[in-house]
Structure 1
Amino acid sequence: MKHLKPMVIKFIATFIMLFVILNLFFGMSFAKVVFISLSLTIISYSFGDVEILPRTNNTIASLADFGLSLVTIWFLSAAVTYFNRSPLFISSLISAAAITIFEYFFHKYMLSFFQKQTDRVLPRPRPLPANFQTETSEEIRPKIEKNHENK
């Protein structure tokens, strides 16, 4: 239940951006935009905001959301429309860029939202201990004996 409010905010913002870009500029139908927005919201929230963001920082999570948005929008647009392939990629690229800008600010909200919910900072994975071993010797340089007698 605590995830409902952020998902609704994310869905509304995603829908508005995709409606403007895909419907008004590229002529995709309203129902297809709703389907893509809902699918992208669920996929992006569960992977980007719940899994990636707590383990990394805002920049990495935003870049991951860009790739995820680009692939998801491109794949779903190709599955539900009969457009030529080049407008699909261009429209997907523009949509993913717009969503990434929103995601950057949404991640800041998510960090503060979950910090208020749990009254603590989101956990970060602890790095594995580095067990390095080195081999040492007593000599740095070998001793070269100079025997002038054996020449």
Structure 2
Amino acid sequence: MEHVKAIVIKFIMITVVLGIILSGIFGGEFSDTLLISAVLTVLAYVLGDLFIFRGTRNDTEYSKRNMIATISDMVLTFIVVWLMGNALFTDTEQTLLGALLSAIVVGAGEWFFHKYLASNVFHERHRHGSVH
């Protein structure tokens, strides 16, 4: 159940960011933004959160894992938004800029999302009982 809650939180975060940037600023259809958000949420949760962030927890310290996972999420966001934006939006002149801006803002959110995952989903604790 914790993973479902985390995925819902991630989907809401990504949808708000992409809704503001892609639909609000760049004028994309909100239905297309929702589709991009859903695809990105699933890919980023599996690849960035489960595989990279959680999967490397025994090999590297928390802050390094968070940085690697956040950068990976930013790259994935850029690629997914750029490719899907070019395929779905009618005005693709600004898709590259929209993908770049989306990647930066989603990356900032992912930094904090990983902190949430560490303490509430993966139950990681620092030596003193707090999350790194």
Q: TM-score, normalised by structure 2?
A: 0.83
Letter of the 1:3 counterpart: H
Q: What per-residue deviation string (whole Å, max 9, x for no partner) do you get for residues 84-114 of structure 1? A: 34x1100000011000000000001111113
1:77 is the counterpart of 2:77: no
Letter of the 1:22 counterpart: L
Letter of the 2:116 counterpart: Y
Could you tell me how far apart the structure 2 residues matched to 1:84 and 1:108 are?
A: 35
Q: What per-residue deviation string (whole Å, max 9, x for no partner) do you get for residues 30-66 of structure 1? A: 1001101111000100100000002151001101111
User: Does the CA-based 8 Å contact 2:78-2:100 persist in structure 1?
Assistant: yes
Q: Once the 2 structures are TM-superposed, how far is the Cα of residue 81 of structure 1 from its aligned partner?
A: 1.5
- Greater percentage in helix: 2
For these two proteins, the number of residue pairs brought into alignment is 118
Letter of the 1:84 counterpart: T
Q: Once the 2 structures are TM-superposed, how far is the Cα of residue 120 of structure 1 from its aligned partner?
A: 6.9
Could you tell me how far apart the structure 1 residues matched to 2:81 and 2:29 are?
A: 14
Rg (Cα) greater in structure: 1
Q: TM-score, normalised by structure 1?
A: 0.73
1:108 is the counterpart of 2:115: yes
Q: 1:108 to 1:13 in 2, by over 3 A?
A: same
Letter of the 1:9 counterpart: I
User: Does the CA-based 8 Å contact 2:3-2:121 persist in structure 1?
Assistant: no
Could you tell me how far apart the structure 2 residues matched to 1:77 and 1:84 are?
A: 7
> Gaps (5+ residues) in structure 2?
127-132
Could you tell me how far apart the structure 2 residues matched to 1:20 and 1:67 are?
A: 19
Q: Once the 2 structures are TM-superposed, how far is the Cα of residue 83 of structure 1 from its aligned partner?
A: 1.9
How large is the Cα RMSD of the aligned pairs? Answer: 1.6
Matching of residues 52-131 of structure 1 within 5 Å: 52-54=52-54, 55=56, 57-85=65-93, 87-116=94-123
Partner of 1:146: none
